[in-house]
Amino acid sequence: MNKDVFDYFIKGEKKYEVIIGLEVHAQVSSNSKLFSGSATKFGAEPNSQVSLIDSAFPGMLPVINKECVKQAIRTGLGLNAKINNNSVFDRKNYFYADLPQGYQISQYKNPIVGEGKVLLDMPYGSKEVGIERLHLEQDAGKSIHDVDPLNTYVDLNRSGIALMEIVSKPDLRSPEEVNAYIKKLRTIMRYLGTCDGNMQEGSLRADVNVSVRQVGDKNFGTRCEIKNVNSIKFMQMAIEYEANRQVKLLDEGKKIDQETRLFDTKKNETRSMRSKEDAHDYRYFPDPDLLPLKIEQKLIDDLKKTLPELPDNKKERFMNDYGLNSYEANVLVSEKEISNYYEEVAKLSDKKLAATWMMGDLFAMLNDKGLNISKSPISAKNFAELVQSIKSGEISGRIAKEVFELMVKSGDNPKKIIESKGMKQQSDPKELEKIVNEILTKNKDKVDQYKSGKEKLFGFFVGQVMKQSGGKANPQLTNEILKKLLKG
């Protein structure tokens, strides 16, 4: 990506900066839909989770699902946001075959959650991204165009599922920041249990708003909105393409039309869908079937008390209590299960060494096997034992890798493996001294050479000790003893 705007910006030699704001649609973790009792299970038989409300039979009335409201409040609290005691459900009117009501119930002027903020850890420091609002709305059904060449089918299983739309301020400045932002939102919601964050299943999608402006400009440029992108990689590709397209237009002296665009993942380009609709096109009005949503302060306060320790706080604690650096702490709090595993290990072993081995060998192995840490073939307790064996000098780092492999294969604890395979490091000073003395006696000539100044021979002696001990001599101790005895 040489010719592209981010390069220009970073080098400071060109004139453009990218401005990005996201509207993230996060599916609420809830067994039933926002206004009906239908199930929300992913992958169910088409149209098997559809009630008369979801299919908009005349006369059916929506009833708000209190669990979904609580989830939105919990998410708002996790985003350090203001929870509004009064909010309103509005109808957003448009026609589409997979929207049987002819309108989507959403929130417009009075959302349930107001301004908040999210902290990102970027290589250049921490960065705050403003949250504009979070509102509740229904999902639409799904049109299926690729099953039959002549017909389009409609699956209404998603119709009426609760979504939280989380709108960021236009605070993001690069694809990397977008990556960090989505991951952070996902982590927070997974800690809270309010959205599973599963992008393959469509639980997290985003509309990506992109504009560019000359560096130093105070005003924003005209934005384009790329609809419904469902992977971080595609978001990043779409932003790159779109920013470059806009820069090119501006460089040619042309202007940017405010548009809604789609990202074609096969061609890696964005294409115009329609000129951007204005809010008045949707004829928003309060839904007469639903009362305004009144939330007692007590409910908010009670929910606040149920919040788990969130990633930012946990990170801070990991740094303070376990002496981890910012990077390590970040990685280890990225998933609740990972942080739990780490804490279990850290309680039983060296905290720093545990972090290093977890982020190295353990993660590589899990990644390799496509396993979540909760399915790790090595239990936290056994892992801690391995770390302690390294720390105490019982085995060397090199041997530890072998033990680790055997632990993965057998699920056995490291003590048993080390004993049964005789892998223990030779760390008994008396035993080692015996070996060293033998070596020195056998190589009197070399000892004399060493003493008269040929210090390079030290490596030779170490090598001999290693050979004699079958590679098990503790290297540090070997050095110490050799130095001591060669002096004498």
Residues that bind Mg ion (CB under 5 A): 23, 207
Map tokens 């009426």 to a residue.
160
CB of 92 to ligand ADP, least distance (A): 10
* Residue 25 in contact with ligand ADP, rule: CB under 6 A: no
If the CB atoms of residues 137 and 207 are measured against Mg ion, the closer one turns out to be 207
DSSP, collapsed to helix, strand or coil, labels residue 391 as: helix
Residue 211 in contact with ligand ADP, rule: CB under 6 A: yes
Q: Does 22 bind ligand ADP (CB under 6 A)?
A: yes
CB 137 → Mg ion: shortest distance, Å?
12
Helix, strand or coil for residue 74? helix
| Residue 225 CB, nearest approach to Mg ion (Å) | 5
HSE (side-chain half, CA atoms, 13 Å) at 130: 8
The residues in 123-182 that bind ligand ADP, with binding defined as CB under 6 A, are 167-170
Among 19, 161, 293, 378, binds ligand ADP (CB under 6 A): 19
- E strand segments, 69-151: 86-87, 90-93, 103-106, 116-122, 125-138, 142-144
Smaller CB distance to ligand ADP: residue 200 or 219?
A: 219
Looking at residue 473, what DSSP letter applies? B
CB of 64 to ligand ADP, least distance (A): 22
- Which one of ligand ADP, Mg ion, none interacts with residue 55, CB within 5 to 8 A by kind? none
* Residue span binding ligand ADP (CB under 6 A) among the ranges 72-80, 138-146, 220-228, 436-444: 220-228
Please give the structure tokens belonging to residue 159. Answer: 């119709």
Minimum CB distance to ligand ADP smaller for 79 or for 481: 79
CA angle 275, 277, 278 (to 5 degrees): 135
If the CB atoms of residues 106 and 425 are measured against Mg ion, the closer one turns out to be 106
Candidate ranges 114-122, 139-147, 218-226, 411-419; the one touching ligand ADP (CB under 6 A): 218-226
Query: For residue 338, what are the contacts with CB-CB under 8 A and spacing of at least 6?
Result: 331, 332, 373
Could you tell me the smallest distance in angstroms from the CB atom of residue 23 to Mg ion? 5
What is the DSSP track for 207-260?
EEEEEEEETT-SS----EEEEEE-SHHHHHHHHHHHHHHHHHHHHTT--PPPEE
Is 240 a binding residue for ligand ADP by CB under 6 A? The answer is: no
21 contacts ligand ADP (rule: CB under 6 A):
yes
Closer residue to ligand ADP (CB): 48 or 214 = 214
Binding flag, residue 114, ligand ADP (CB under 6 A): no
Cα of 58 vs its chain's centroid, Å: 43
Q: How many of the other CB atoms lie within 10 Å of CB of 63?
A: 13
Q: Give DSSP secondary structure letters for 170-206.
A: S-B-SHHHHHHHHHHHHHHHHHHTS----TTTTSEEE
- Rank residues 19 and 53 by Cβ distance to ligand ADP and give the closer one: 19
Residue 135 CB, shortest distance to Mg ion, in Å, is 12
For the bound state, the minimum distance from the C-beta of residue 274 to ligand ADP, rounded and expressed in Å, comes to: 13
Report the interhelical angle of 475-487 vs 444-451 (nearest 10°).
Answer: 80
Strand duo 90-93 + 285-286: pairing? antiparallel
209 is a contact residue toward ligand ADP (CB under 6 A): yes
Residue 36: CB minimum distance to ligand ADP, A: 26
Nearer to Mg ion, 23 or 361 (CB): 23
Please state the closest distance from residue 277 (CB atom) to ligand ADP, in A: 8
Among the listed residues 139, 225, 242, 335, the single contact to ligand ADP using CB under 6 A:
225
Report the distance separating Cα 341 and Cα 373, nearest Å. Answer: 8
Q: Which residue stretches of 30-131 are H helix?
A: 66-78
Contact with ligand ADP (CB under 6 A): which of 33, 186, 190, 223? 223
Residue 167 CB, shortest distance to ligand ADP, in Å, is 5
Residue 141, judged by CB atoms within 10 A of its CB (0-12, 13-18, 19+), counts as buried
Other Cβ atoms closer than 10 A to 278: 8
Selection from ligand ADP, Mg ion, none that 168 binds (CB < 5 to 8 A by kind) is ligand ADP
DSSP 278: P
**Binding-site ranges for ligand ADP (CB under 6 A):** 19-23, 167-170, 209-211, 220, 223, 225
